[in-house]
């Protein structure tokens, strides 16, 4: 029988990217192959994100474009998973009559069953249950051939209830995965040739809460550091309020732990931080950054910022700029605030005008560019260890990889070097990448 083809489109964050990879691996074990050409697909899955308004709009316009495909091929199965599926549920089936399946964030592992049901009965599937312990958390079949980097889920959901955030509603309560399972998965990945693991969770710093007697996050990092053949460890995301001295000292102690931390600050105004329910002040954040840099002077620090939170004044915004000037992040992801259903912030009055949000965002991004470029230029003339990921997507005659501090470096070299860690001299720095030259002894 002809092998069926699945096309998966992923919206949003690393968590979703990893969920899509899990979906792919599950379906591969049920005899599906992956296609990059949507016109050849027997199954189209959208793995969606609802963290911000813009992400959600993109999902609806993609769905609109799928109607033509279904008209051409009525046997095509279309499914929507992820956060929009979780949030919209039945409304999605109602709004999109040619949609076959809606599956929530805790139901990935049941996909083969759902597909089978659609094929056999033609019935439409809706499954958005959230569970106290998530079977899909543990589902992670073997990686693809020659995979160099892999995500590893260490926890799911979030209990922090930042007032603007939809995650606790669409990804459920915070659940940590037993360390035994995580270590087993990392060992299996290492045996398959994976060199770098990124530990994933909404707030990895609180890993272990709720599973009495198991490891803390720093202990987990120490154990992973001992696993042979794994050469690099990363993690994301960290909540500043839970960043412990033990975790900070891991950066000085563990040779495989890469010198990068993503530490979302969200705002530099204490009034806004309070209204956001972030539970730290700007001063406390700055002190933590100083401690991290003291433990690990080479560390790259990146962050997220929201502008135009309800009630944010010019003075609040200036406080955010002030914090950016003090911390000097390596890079920043910045967003205009958008109301999300069920969240506390969506009920707050004093919404900031969209034009004001746009102006603030542009001022902030222009200001940050200065620091990003300066930080990148500090690497010019220095030799950096690069894990080679393969040919560059924009120029396949060149190789691409990342520094330990997570900067993209492009350079000439043989594709045989893919998967190896090589020394590269940084020649030129740009805003989003660096250009390097490999040490000639590695060129052959
Ligand atoms: N509006 C704008 N940005 C948001 N984020 C989360 N919720 C919202 C929202 N309602 C941003 C935060 C978070 C990142 C993943 O998305 O900065 O860290
Ligand atoms: Fe959302 Fe806050 Fe949880 Fe991050 S910590 S996922 S911003 S509620």
Domain around 35: 4-127
Assess whether 271 and 252 both reside in one domain: no
Q: pLDDT at position 394, please?
A: 83
Assess whether 213 and 274 both reside in one domain: no
Ligand 1 neighbourhood includes 280 CB (under 6 angstroms) = no
Answer whether residue 346 shows pLDDT above 60.
yes
Total domain count, the chain:
4
Chain-centroid distance of CA 166 in Å reads 16
The span from the first CA to the last CA of the chain, in angstroms, equals 44
What is the distance between the alpha carbons of residues 142 and 26, in angstroms, rounded to a whole number?
A: 9
Q: pLDDT at position 295, please?
A: 95
267: CATH: 3.30.750.200
Q: pLDDT at position 304, please?
A: 98
Ligand 1 centroid–CA 142 distance in Å is 32
Question: Confidence band (pLDDT; 50, 70, 90) for 192?
Answer: very high
Q: Kindly state the average pLDDT of the residues 38-48.
A: 95
**358 DSSP assignment:** H
Q: Which atom of ligand 2 is nearest to the CA of 237?
A: 4
Ligand 2 neighbourhood includes 162 CB (under 6 angstroms) = yes
Alpha helices in 328-401 (DSSP H): 354-377
Assess whether 70 and 112 both reside in one domain: yes
Q: pLDDT at position 441, please?
A: 67
Q: How many CB atoms lie within 10 A of CB 61?
A: 8
Q: pLDDT at position 138, please?
A: 65
Assess whether 316 and 347 both reside in one domain: yes
Interhelix angle 314-327/354-377, nearest 10 degrees: 10
Answer whether residue 122 shows pLDDT above 80.
yes
Assess whether 192 and 106 both reside in one domain: no
Ligand 2 neighbourhood includes 157 CB (under 6 angstroms) = no
Q: pLDDT at position 137, please?
A: 62
User: What residues are paired with 434 via a beta bridge?
Assistant: 409, 429
Assess whether 147 and 243 both reside in one domain: yes
Tens digit of each residue's pLDDT (9 = 90 or more) over 86-98: 999 999 999 999 9
Q: pLDDT at position 400, please?
A: 97
Tell me which residue has its CA closest to atom 14 in ligand 1.
304
Q: Is residue 230 part of a domain?
A: yes
204: CATH: 3.30.750.210
Q: Kindly state the average pLDDT of the residues 244-258.
A: 96
- Ligand 1 test: best mutation among 239, 306, 340, most atoms within 8 Å of CB? 306
Proportion of the chain above pLDDT 70, given as a percent: 97
Ligand 1 centroid–CA 347 distance in Å is 16
φ/ψ bin of 8: left (φ > 0), alpha (ψ from -120 to 50), beta (otherwise): beta
Q: pLDDT at position 277, please?
A: 98
What is the distance between the alpha carbons of residues 305 and 240, in angstroms, rounded to a whole number?
A: 13
Tens digit of each residue's pLDDT (9 = 90 or more) over 142-184: 777 788 999 999 999 999 999 999 999 999 999 999 999 999 9
CA distances from 93 to 12, 49, 84, 188, 268 (A): 22, 17, 12, 39, 41
Q: pLDDT at position 395, please?
A: 87
Assess whether 39 and 59 both reside in one domain: yes
**257 DSSP assignment:** B
Ligand 2 neighbourhood includes 203 CB (under 6 angstroms) = yes
Q: Is residue 307 part of a domain?
A: yes
Residue with tokens 């620090």: 301
Answer whether residue 266 shows pLDDT above 60.
yes
Answer whether residue 140 shows pLDDT above 80.
no
Answer whether residue 213 shows pLDDT above 90.
no
Specify the 3-state DSSP secondary structure of 140.
coil
Answer whether residue 444 shows pLDDT above 60.
no
What is the distance between the alpha carbons of residues 387 and 403, in angstroms, rounded to a whole number?
A: 7
Q: Is residue 155 part of a domain?
A: yes
Contact assessment for residue 268 and residue 322, using Cβ atoms and an 8 Å cutoff: yes
Assess whether 249 and 173 both reside in one domain: yes
Q: Kindly state the average pLDDT of the residues 9-37.
A: 91
Query: Looking at per-residue confidence, does 184 or 136 come out higher?
Result: 184
- Cα–Cα–Cα angle for 308, 172, 205, rounded to 5 degrees: 75
Q: pLDDT at position 443, please?
A: 59
Q: Is residue 369 part of a domain?
A: yes
Ligand 2 centroid–CA 407 distance in Å is 25
Stretch (H or E) spanning 277: none
Ligand 2 neighbourhood includes 324 CB (under 6 angstroms) = no
Tens digit of each residue's pLDDT (9 = 90 or more) over 2-22: 789 999 999 988 889 999 999
Q: Which of 334, 359, 378 is the last residue of a domain?
A: 378
- Ligand 2 test: best mutation among 160, 275, 335, 340, most atoms within 8 Å of CB? 160
Proportion of the chain above pLDDT 90, given as a percent: 86
Tens digit of each residue's pLDDT (9 = 90 or more) over 99-113: 999 999 999 999 999
């Amino acid at each position: 029988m002809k092998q069926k083809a699945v096309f998966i489109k992923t919206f949003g964050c690393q968590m979703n990217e990893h969920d899509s990879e899990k979906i792919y691996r599950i379906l591969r074990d049920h005899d599906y192959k992956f296609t990059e050409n949507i016109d050849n697909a027997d199954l189209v899955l959208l793995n969606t994100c609802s963290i911000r308004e813009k992400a959600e709009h993109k999902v609806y316009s993609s769905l609109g474009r799928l109607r033509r495909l279904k008209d051409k091929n009525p046997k095509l199965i279309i499914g929507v998973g992820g956060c929009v599926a979780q949030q919209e549920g039945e409304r999605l089936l109602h709004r999109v009559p040619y949609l076959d399946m809606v599956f929530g964030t805790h139901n990935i592992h049941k996909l083969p069953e759902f597909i089978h049901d659609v094929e056999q009965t033609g019935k439409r599937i809706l499954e958005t249950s959230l569970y106290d312990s998530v079977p899909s958390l543990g589902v992670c079949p073997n990686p693809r051939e020659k995979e160099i980097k892999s995500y590893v889920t260490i926890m799911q959901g979030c209990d922090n209830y930042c007032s603007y955030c939809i995650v606790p509603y669409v990804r459920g309560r915070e659940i940590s995965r037993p360390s035994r399972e995580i270590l087993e998965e990392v060992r299996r990945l290492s045996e398959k040739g994976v060199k770098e693991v990124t530990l994933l969770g909404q707030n990895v710093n609180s890993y272990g809460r709720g599973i009495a007697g198991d490891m803390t996050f720093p202990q987990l990092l120490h154990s992973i550091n001992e696993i042979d053949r794994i050469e690099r460890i990363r993690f994301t995301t960290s909540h500043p309020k839970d960043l412990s001295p033990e975790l900070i000292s891991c950066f000085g102690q563990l040779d495989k732990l890469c010198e990068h931390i993503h530490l979302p600050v969200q705002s530099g105004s204490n009034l806004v931080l309070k209204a956001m329910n972030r539970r730290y002040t700007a001063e406390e954040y700055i002190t933590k950054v100083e401690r991290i840099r003291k433990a690990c002077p080479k560390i790259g620090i990146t962050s997220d910022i929201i502008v135009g939170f309800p009630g944010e004044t010019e003075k609040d915004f200036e406080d955010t700029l002030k914090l950016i000037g003090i911390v000097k992040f390596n890079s920043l992801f910045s967003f205009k605030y958008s109301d999300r259903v069920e969240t506390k912030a969506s009920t707050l009055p004093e919404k900031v005008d969209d034009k004001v949000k746009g102006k603030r965002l542009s001022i902030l991004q222009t200001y940050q560019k200065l620091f990003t470029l300066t930080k990148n230029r500090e690497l010019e003339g220095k030799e950096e260890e690069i894990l080679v990921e393969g040919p560059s997507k924009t120029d396949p005659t060149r190789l691409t990889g990342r520094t330990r501090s997570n900067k993209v470096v492009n350079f000439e070299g043989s594709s045989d070097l893919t998967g190896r860690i090589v020394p590269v001299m940084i020649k030129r720095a740009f805003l989003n990448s660096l250009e390097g030259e490999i040490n000639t002894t590695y060129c052959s």
